[in-house]
Structure 1
Amino acid sequence: MTTLAESNTATAARDDAPKLMLAAICACARLHGIATITISYDGCGDEGGIDGVTLSGPALADGEPVPEIAMPDMPCSTWTVPYRGDAVAIESTFESALDDLGYELIAQNHAGWENGEGAFGEVIIDVEAGRATHDHNTRYVSYDSTAYEWEC
């Protein structure tokens, strides 16, 4: 069986990328006791990006705050999606793999989120469950219009 590290040419359909990327991220996160990953993003005016990644350990007893974990400097066998391409297996850093996953999950349902008034939100990954949820907020400009008519 060939691993990602052994194959430079492994590809998959873009629709499969989120599952593949998420599985790779969760595997790497488990190695460092990371239970939850929160990826925050914000954009408008044709610009935007991921503006923060928070890593948390497992929940503690007695309602104590969940400890934050520093970003580990480790390699991660994962997947990336080139512009308008299929998913490609790569060797990356954990931090870079998180950015790739965040951008891909956002783009899957909200391409152009940074344009116009923009959008903001979070991708939250439950590492143990291997599940990501995406909370997206689109900004828009709205107006009310009224018309009047009088006759004499």
Structure 2
Amino acid sequence: MSATSDANAVPKPQLSEWETLSALRTQLEADLFQTNKATLFQALDVAGVTKIVVTFDGYGDSGQIEDVQAQAGDGDVTMPGSVIEIMAAVWGQTEPERSTVSIAAAVESLAYDVLERTHCGWENNDGAYGNIVFDIAAHTITLDYNERYTATENHTHSF
């Protein structure tokens, strides 16, 4: 490059420490989600579970999982009682926090992760409701999300 083109180059702004840590955490969370999903799906497959259906509902700045159903084929089954290890990102740390949890707790954790990754604030105001389906054979998690809102229509007429 010539000295002229170097002099005309627009300098790239430096990322702040917070932006750098945030980017690292976002990437770590994405990686851990895939790892946790694979661990959970393997445990569910071994237990013979073919599908998990999680029902959620949120409104008024509060939200929760309403129901979790485990299925094997077309029938409902009891959630396996075994435990697995899942990992979570911790702000400012490059290594994740490891926890041994029940399969039911891991399902809830991934369900909340799916909601937060796609619709942060799903529990606020009029809220949202729906289902999260864990299809073990297809190795997918599908979110069916319904957002509530209040609409107002105003009509003013002068004659």
Q: TM-score range by the shorter chain?
A: 0.7 to 0.9
Residues 74-123 of structure 1 deviation map (CA, whole Å, 9 limit, x = unaligned): 11122335689885432211111111011001100111111100101111
Partner of 1:73: 81
- Does the 8 Å CA contact 1:14/1:85 hold for their aligned counterparts? no
3-state DSSP of counterpart to 1:101: helix
Q: Which has the higher contact order (CA 8 A, sep 6+)?
A: 1
- For residues 156 and 116 of structure 2, the distance between their equivalents in structure 1, rounded to whole angstroms, comes to 40
User: Does 1:24 pair with 2:39?
Assistant: yes
Residues 122-144 of structure 1 deviation map (CA, whole Å, 9 limit, x = unaligned): 11011012111111111000011
User: Does 1:122 pair with 2:137?
Assistant: no
In the alignment of these two chains, the number of paired residues is 133
Return closer, same or farther for 1:69/1:83 CA change in 2, 3 Å cut-off: farther
Q: Report the TM-score, using the length of structure 2 for normalisation.
A: 0.75
- For residues 85 and 53 of structure 1, the distance between their equivalents in structure 2, rounded to whole angstroms, comes to 32
> What 5-or-longer segments of structure 2 have no aligned partner?
1-24
- Does the 8 Å CA contact 1:56/1:69 hold for their aligned counterparts? yes
Tell me how large the CA RMSD over aligned residues is: 2.2
Q: Bigger radius of gyration, 1 or 2?
A: 2
> What 5-or-longer segments of structure 1 have no aligned partner?
1-10, 59-65
Partner of 1:14: 29
Percentage identity across paired residues of the two chains = 23
Structure 1 residues 2-151: aligned runs within 5 Å: 13-58=28-73, 66-81=74-89, 88-150=97-159
- For residues 92 and 75 of structure 2, the distance between their equivalents in structure 1, rounded to whole angstroms, comes to 38
Partner of 1:62: none
| Counterpart residue identity of residue 35, structure 2 | L
- Does the 8 Å CA contact 1:119/1:137 hold for their aligned counterparts? yes
3-state DSSP of counterpart to 1:13: helix
Return closer, same or farther for 1:82/1:98 CA change in 2, 3 Å cut-off: farther
